[in-house]
Amino acid sequence: MAKYGFLGLGIMGSAMAANLVRAGFEVTVWNRTAARCAPLVALGARQAATPREVAESCDITFAILADPAAALAACRGEDGVAAGIGGGRGYVDMSTVDDATAQHIAQMINARGGRFLEAPVSGTKKPAEDGTLIILSGGDRSLYDEAAPAFDKMGKKRLFLGEVGQGARMKLVVNLVMGSMLTALGEGMSLGLKGGLDGAQILEVLDAGAMACPMFRAKGPMLLAGEFPTSFPLKHMQKDLRLALSLGEELGQNLATTVASNELFKRVRIDGHGDEDIGAVFRAIR
Q: Is 239 a catalytic residue?
A: no
Catalytic residue among 125, 171, 219, 235: 171
SS3 per-residue string spanning the chain: CCEEEEECCCHHHHHHHHHHHHCCCEEEEECCCHHHHHHHHHHCCEECCCHHHHHHHCCEEEECCCCHHHHHHHHCCCCCHHHHCCCCCEEEECCCCCHHHHHHHHHHHHHCCCEEEECCEECCHHHHHHCCEEEEEEECHHHHHHHHHHHHHHEEEEEECCCCCHHHHHHHHHHHHHHHHHHHHHHHHHHHHHCCCCHHHHHHHHHHCCCCCHHHHHHHHHHHHCCCCCCCEHHHHHHHHHHHHHHHHHHCCCCHHHHHHHHHHHHHHHHHHCCCEHHHHHHHHC
Positions marked catalytic = 171
